[in-house]
Structure 1
């Protein structure tokens, strides 16, 4: 019997789940199998590919170099199989499996609640993993199939990826309703001098996304606090006499005051992006269609 005859799609799905979860118990739960069944499939896979594929660690598995190289090929193969049987009659409520989204803190606040509600209603058997956006690891994660979709800003996405613009966004200057700054109408120079909190989710530093805009006016901001995400900034504003520039959609419903400016920072796009391997995947196309595009 050839190696190909000893390989089936279920084994490849087990391999894909193990690559994603790096844990046999979690992979079994995702696939609706017992942990023993996962172990049996892994044993067969090791025999077929003549490689250990996964090495045990304290709380799971680590893929071997061979398995990491194999994962992208398996991912493409399973997508092709899925396209073959569902390209003409994709039915969301019958869809099973796992869809992984890498999203910025902003996207998790503004975009994902509505998307998740639609997915749960229309595809209740589809499991969803939302992971923090890791700019330095994004390409490897998408190349290996560990991330299906990224929602972020254009500067964060490799140029080779397919993208769709979701909407245009802009920053607004805000402060706490009880700060000493809340009732002022300051000049741009005064705004630059105010103690400022920035969100720097990609790398921890004091460089903000609109520093270049201020520099056009010969100004440098007085950044005193760098936070890891947008969502925490309003809480810091509550306890400090300071300002922040936040995306307009991220402040809806928050107890903050908008400070009027002489000039407004440039607007920017919010996009969804994906690896070209998913271009013809019916599930991926459907998820993209659920995203609200302004």
Structure 2
């Protein structure tokens, strides 16, 4: 059993860095100490825990089962200690914290852009980094403590996180204002299927969505000729060509030079959540950022 009275908390910081980096030298560089110093602290950790913890390989280290079991509790403990000792006050005008957000291009346009513009006015010294990650990458990086906030759907949100719904989104059909159908007030399913269409495929290269399943049940099929990696690139195509697309309504609302129609059939929308790790739940700074995001989405 570990005697916590003799345990150096710096050993836990070393453990956490090695778990993240999977490499002794990179962990030493991250902690601004020498590699021999890190190796010495690993030796002490092994004695405390009576486990090898990290197995050296040609490309770095592999954690043992015991190390894997300890990784998340230790990261959470370090985060909570940081909050305890650095959470006395928070003044937006003078705060200099850095926050990292995981967001798709949809979220960047609909949520983050208006939020960041407001943030520049009320907290000008706060730094924000925005990463465009897949759901799997977001879950992994948030578990490591590398992401403060993410914008996800309920089915993608990790079990270890806390979340709150920001809004519900629905879809519309978008065309350019120079399109031959732009003078109509509505479209039929047949007219919809006759138009060349584009979709967004974040995973890459797909030409099918839930829309195609719905159309098949109705006895129709559409022509999807463009598969794009983002809504911004798809919308540029719509504006400059005869390409049409189903897009989220909130995206359409910030692109006023598009003509939109209600869909002539029903497809499910989605709920967008703000997601954060439970280890930051009590942080005054994180709570303030969350409240600003909630307010900007009302």
Given the two structures, how large is their TM-score scaled by the length of structure 2? 0.74
1:130 Cα deviation from its structure 2 partner: 0.8
Partner of 1:89: 89
| Larger-Rg structure | 2
| 8 Å CA contact retained: 1:151, 1:273 | yes
For structure 1, list consecutive stretches of 5 or more residues without a partner in the other structure. Answer: 28-34, 56-61
1:49 aligns with 2:42: yes
Q: Residues 162 and 276 of structure 1 are in contact (CA less than 8 Å); yes or no, is this contact kept in structure 2?
A: yes
Cα deviations by residue, 1:206-235 (Å, 9 ceiling, x for unpaired): 122544444453433321111011111121
Corresponding residue for 1:127?
Answer: 127
Assess, with a 3 A threshold, how the Cα gap between structure 1 residues 5 and 174 changes in structure 2: closer, same or farther: closer
Contact 1:165–1:270 at 8 Å: present in 2 too? yes
Superimposed CA distance per residue, residues 58-101 of structure 1 (whole angstroms, 9 cap, x where no aligned partner) = xxxx8743499576455323321233135553444454443221
Aligned pair count reads: 278
Alignment correspondent of 1:30: none
Using the TM superposition, give the Cα deviation of residue 15 of structure 1 relative to its aligned residue in structure 2, in angstroms: 4.2
Q: Which residue of 2 aligns with 1:195?
A: 196
Instruction: Indicate the residue corresponding to 1:242 in structure 2.
Output: 243
1:145-156 matches, cutoff 5 A = 145-156=145-156
Residues of 2 paired with 1:276 and 1:218: CA distance?
47
- CA distance in structure 2 between the partners assigned to 1:72 and 1:238 by the alignment: 47
**Cα distance 1:177–1:118, how it changes in 2: closer, same or farther (>3 A)?**
closer
CA distance in structure 2 between the aligned counterparts of 1:118 and 1:193, rounded to whole angstroms? 42
Worse overlay, 99-108 or 265-274:
265-274
2:33 is the alignment partner of 1:40: yes
CA RMSD of aligned residues (A): 4.1
SS, match of residue 40 in structure 1? coil
How far off its partner does 1:131 sit? 0.6
Tell me, yes or no, if structure 1 residue 224 matches structure 2 residue 225: yes
Structure 1 length as normaliser, TM-score?
0.75
Pairwise mapping of residues 213-292 of structure 1 onto structure 2 (< 5 A)? Answer: 213-251=214-252, 252-263=254-265, 265-291=267-293, 292=296
Counterpart position of 1:117: 117
Alignment of 1:128-207 (within 5 A): 128-158=128-158, 161-184=161-184, 185-207=186-208
